Amino acid sequence: DVKVTQSSRYLVKRTGEKVFLECVQDMDHENMFWYRQDPGLGLRLIYFSYDVKMKEKGDIPEGYSVSREKKERFSLILESASTNQTSMYLCASSHRTGNYNEQFFGPGTRLTVL
Amino acid sequence: SQQGEEDPQALSIQEGENATMNCSYKTSINNLQWYRQNSGRGLVHLILIRSNEREKHSGRLRVTLDTSKKSSSLLITASRAADTASYFCATDASHSGAGSYQLTFGKGTKLSVIP
């Protein structure tokens, strides 16, 4: 059974803290993605990676960075958390295929920044 | 950038009725996908339809795609209370040769099926 796991389901941090969100997939997927989901705004892509050590900015990369040192792991880093980064964070992965790029999602991390 | 837009934003029906959700998009696509999200959880892939396909079925799901109108619909037949969830369309607009990495998601339709 394919699986994407995220390190925490719920996280509470204080403004200014450095926050690490971890995502691991066991499907040997090349592509990995980080989204944030907010009411009324849908899913917005923060960063994605199509290979180890490669990263590309998505639609809203400001305030975030990522790390992909191993194929199965993709980390999202909030360098200095702010209250407007309170959100649901979703990680996903997919194969690098021609026309069947179905994404598999983790359960999400609900982050609250106080 | 927002590609897919679902309509309606919310839909409430009785168990046993059919539910239809629509998605419109702006640019040419390689494929369009539908996902489901139970409250507070991650998204689950339901079905993918390629740009050269017009209709696809999977169990109680039926998806249509009209590339001339840049629109798709998802029909859930004989709905059940367990179908209560949010449904998202996602478009792959990457060009051939560039790799299919990104999907662009709409804001979703929230479906409530009343027992």
Q: What is the pLDDT of residues B32-71, one digit of tens each?
A: 999 999 998 999 999 999 999 999 999 999 999 999 999 9
Under the banding of pLDDT at 50, 70 and 90, the label for residue A2 is low
Distance CA A92, CA A71 (A): 13
Distance CA B4, CA B104 (A): 7
Nearest CB among A48, A99, A105 relative to B102 is that of A48
With CB atoms and an 8 Å threshold, state whether A90 touches B50. Answer: no
pLDDT digits (tens, 9 = 90+) for B4-29: 788 899 999 999 999 999 999 998 88
Q: DSSP strand E in B1-103: where? A: 5-7, 10-14, 19-24, 31-37, 43-50, 55-58, 61-66, 71-76, 85-92
Contact B4, B25 (CB under 8 A): yes
With CB atoms and an 8 Å threshold, state whether B101 touches A50. Answer: yes
Share of chain A above pLDDT 70, in %: 96
Residues of chain B found within 8 Å of residue A102, distances taken between Cβ atoms:
33, 45, 48
Strands A10-13 and A109-113: parallel
With CB atoms and an 8 Å threshold, state whether B31 touches A99. Answer: yes
Nearest CB among A45, A98, A104 relative to B100 is that of A98
